[in-house]
Amino acid sequence: MRVLITGAAGSIGRVVSAGLTSLGHDVIGLDILPGSDLIADSADPAEVHAAVASTRPEAIVHLAGIPTESALPDALTSHVITTAALLEAMIRCDVRRIVYASSNHAVGRTPRAGFDTLDHRLGVDTPPRPDTFYGVGKVAAEALLGMYVDRHGIDAVCTRIGSFLERPTSRRNLASWLSHDDCVRMFHAALTAPSPGLAVLYGISNNTRGWWDLAPGRALGYHPQDDAEDWATEIEATPETDEDIAEAAAVGGPFATPKFERPAFQP
């Protein structure tokens, strides 16, 4: 499949570009930084339209954005305006599928208590409960994608990614880790699942201690293979800190703690 990847020069973008290429996809990378096939600002509708019109992809993987907390205007530009620019270009150029890098921070203030058993996992139907302006941006981007699915009949898959890392490094990561290989599996499944309409899934590996529902991802063909448990002994050999305990209280971990409180309009 011919796929345009925004944010292709970033940490997820580099891994997913290489991984999808090795699976036989024809990947075109776009980033605001040099090093990709196309240099463009995903928040600029004209630049985005020119990129989509000139490359004519069958699908878009949208990764471009600030992957952490920022002032509200920057978060909205980074996650909502970029998504809108892509959606408008898709409609004009008849691109029918987008896979979006959303985040667990869309529901980050949801308390963790009670979500530990197989019978009671954090579902993708959990009401929006962002922990940061970053999370607000992800909620709004998911809503926007839903509106374009309803109005224009496109397919949109929102992948609520956990912690994309080479290996887990904290107690929280024992549940939230997404390995590099599973990340590629996830985007491949989201690109190739037949007619998903609007779909949401949690982007984590097959972690023994995971408590986010993987069933919606499996229904789309995402079958994660890696397990953070391989690092559990090493991680648990270090004493549990107050920070670990605070981070375990809500879905969003550190983002849900007071450490991430900030004014909306301070640059």
Ligand X SMILES: NC(=O)c1ccc[n+]([C@@H]2O[C@H](COP(=O)([O-])OP(=O)(O)OC[C@H]3O[C@@H](n4cnc5c(N)ncnc54)[C@H](O)[C@@H]3O)[C@@H](O)[C@H]2O)c1
Q: Give me the active site residues, please.
A: 134
Rank residues 196 and 203 by Cβ distance to ligand X and give the closer one: 203
Residue nearest to ligand X (CB): 10
In sign, the C-alpha dihedral spanning 93, 16, 158, 30 is negative
Spatial contact of 228 and 174, defined as CB atoms under 8 Å apart: yes
Q: Distance between CA atoms of 136 and 141, rounded to whole angstroms? A: 9
* Smallest distance from ligand X to CB 199, Å: 16
Rank residues 35 and 114 by Cβ distance to ligand X and give the closer one: 35
- Residue 39 CB burial class (10 angstroms; 0-12, 13-18, ≥19): middle
Q: Any alpha helices (H) in 156-197, and if so which ranges?
A: 173-176, 180-192
Question: Which residue, among 133, 146, 168, has the nearest Cα to 260 in the 3D structure?
Answer: 133
* Smallest distance from ligand X to CB 7, Å: 3
Question: Which residue, among 194, 177, 167, 9, has the nearest Cα to 97 in the 3D structure?
Answer: 194
* Smallest distance from ligand X to CB 14, Å: 8
Q: Distance between CA atoms of 201 and 30, rounded to whole angstroms? A: 24
Note the residues at the interface with ligand X (CB under 6 A).
6-7, 9-13, 31-33, 41-43, 63-65, 67, 78, 82, 101, 103, 161, 163-164
* Smallest distance from ligand X to CB 265, Å: 20
> Measured over all CA atoms, what is the biggest interatomic distance in the chain, rounded to whole angstroms?
55
Rank residues 163 and 205 by Cβ distance to ligand X and give the closer one: 163
Rank residues 82 and 179 by Cβ distance to ligand X and give the closer one: 82
